[in-house]
Chains A and B, each alone.
Chain A
């Protein structure tokens, strides 16, 4: 096996069963990737029903209202697309790091840092520059902000062996406190938590092209999200660097034996992961409010963990999972009249636990069945 053969793509969750033809292996891989998510959704539906009944409502009516308020009208759908955009970035960031065998719990602060650096650049620009020219500048600024935060965690791991789960959690608190200090000391509009308005390069809303979206926050950053997914896929599965990254993720010792330096890969993977999350900050800062506001990340960095897992750590899966979780989030608002919207927060947590539980369990059951067959 040579290092640079890009055709070799290891299974999403472990080695394919030995002795099978490639079609059986592909089917096994698909089963292992899809079944846990389906099991998780089933469990979530049951728990959701129980919560709805505990509030004295009929599940069918609540779920119908949830669908009507999200995919059933263009405003609701626009809001779903807006929320899915941020979640795609954080989910993709976490999935990318997971492919290198790293758990990036820091997407929350990387997202905030990206939004912050983009806002700082935006506030220092003369007003009225066209967005199409400015967008690459903003993307670079946001990627830099998030990338530094991610890169620090990567470097702490590769240089000192500090576990990235703990350092990224600690960095969340440190970075958010730092951003809070910088915002409140230098940039804040008095009596608010946000900066003054950015007057250069605001990204157009989707409603500018398609009137029914009117009022929803969906904007063209969604195109950047789609491009990021495509680029991440190409990097992971079609480049030598991506191959090295996945090799380190599957088996760092073996990769090192084959001539890859895991430390360098870890730092790079965390920096890129942080950069992806950082670019997500543009969705709020440039696409929606046109200012940086403390706390705008609002948990999207943690929900990104669910998005990455339900999406099977594959860029396409991540985009679909982001739509799913955005639908649940927006759906909570739609059903608030019948059931407290907090019930969707419970559902999201249940989905994560159910996926985490069913990934190893489903794999074990499938393998046992194949052995017996």
Chain B
């Protein structure tokens, strides 16, 4: 029972990471830095709350959340691709924009500075250990297959080949007729949709939007993307690993074995170690962060 409980909680924590990290892989493999994942998640979460509240259906929430994430991704894409703005600067600004916009519209739509009213989620009330709710929630199932889907897309479809080409060597891709700009726009919007779904999951799971509710999850997803060396299956494992560490910390809270702050550090420390190349260096896509000439 304890093992099942551990797995269930790990899964619940991992789902938003899996969505956002899938978005991170798609974006970074196409050459666009994934600093924006946190903002996409927050934008997707708020839009999901709006959609579910006014549409009285969780599916409207999903639809709105996807649009919310995509909208922020379009702002990022236009700035970084059309105007060749610095991706790091715009990326940070997209996150600030998401915080500001969701707070502003939280006041405008719901008259609150902290949270939305209760919204419809999937599977009704949380009860007992939550297994029923877990199985009944389509977002869980979607979250479980999102990484395999991205892996298939990236390695088994023509579009995936183009994404990888554009991220590694845009000039070569152009020379064989790949529409670099279009591929990059598609990839960045797809990453907004995927990370937005991570935010949707949070809102529908907690039945409300709260200010800054993503709480750094987008950056953990970015850490997983890098720690997983931009390869979908490894990134998926990284997400599960980070989630398992968090679950362990929550379940051991009473025992006080390790201070929670040190558990919080794990994903970030592992990422720095991976980047520094202590055990097998993490090498990013060659054209990451660069605007092609």
Contact = CB atoms under 8 A, between A and B. Distances in A.
A178 B276 contact: no
Interface residues of A, number: 48
A170 B96 contact: no
Nearest to B282: A162
Contacts, number: 130
Given A105-B88, A166-B271, A177-B262, A346 B113 contact: no
Most chain A CB within 10 A, of B84, B104, B271, is at B104
B85 A359 contact: yes
A350 B89 CA distance: 11
A170 B223 CA distance: 8
B101 A181 contact: no
A309 B89 contact: yes
B100 A346 contact: yes
Contacts of B222: 166, 169
B107 interface: yes
Interface stretch (A16-24, A122-130, A337-345): A337-345
B5 interface: no
Contacts of B271: 166, 170
A302 B100 contact: no
Contacts of B35: 165, 169
Contact of A349 (B97, B113, B275): B97
Contacts of A348: 96, 100
Interface residues of B, number: 42
Given A170-B268, A177-B261, A357 B96 contact: no
A305 B89 contact: yes
B275 A156 contact: yes
Interface in A28-75: 51, 54-55
Contact of A343 (B75, B99, B104): B104
B216 interface: yes
Given A305-B89, A340-B104, A342-B107, A181 B259 contact: yes
Contacts of B262: 177, 181
A300 B221 CA distance: 24
A352 B92 contact: yes
A162 B272 contact: yes
Secondary structure of the B contact surface, majority rule: helix
A306 B89 CA distance: 8
A350 B84 contact: no
B86 A356 contact: yes
Contacts of A165: 33, 35, 88
B2 interface: no
A343 B79 CA distance: 21
Secondary structure of the A contact surface, majority rule: helix
B275 A342 contact: no
Interface in B240-293: 259, 261-262, 264-265, 268-269, 271-272, 275-277, 284
Given A166-B226, A181-B262, A340-B107, A352 B89 contact: yes
Given A170-B223, A170-B268, A348-B96, A353 B88 contact: no
Given A173-B268, A177-B262, A185-B259, A51 B86 contact: no
B277 A160 contact: yes
A367 interface: no
Interface in A214-242: none
Given A166-B226, A359-B85, A345 B272 contact: no
A169 B225 CA distance: 14
Contacts of B40: none
A54 B97 contact: no
A211 interface: no
Interface of B: 33, 35, 75, 79, 83-86, 88-90, 92-94, 96-97, 99-101, 103-104, 107-108, 113, 216, 219, 222-223, 226, 259, 261-262, 264-265, 268-269, 271-272, 275-277, 284
12 contacts: A54-B108, A103-B88, A160-B277, A162-B277, A166-B275, A171-B272, A302-B96, A347-B100, A348-B100, A355-B89, A356-B86, A359-B86
Interface of A: 51, 54-55, 103, 105, 156, 159-163, 165-167, 169-171, 173-174, 177-178, 180-181, 185, 299, 302, 305-306, 309, 340, 342-350, 352-353, 355-361
In the complex, the 3 A-B pairs of residues with the closest C-beta atoms, listed nearest first: A345-B100, A349-B97, A352-B93
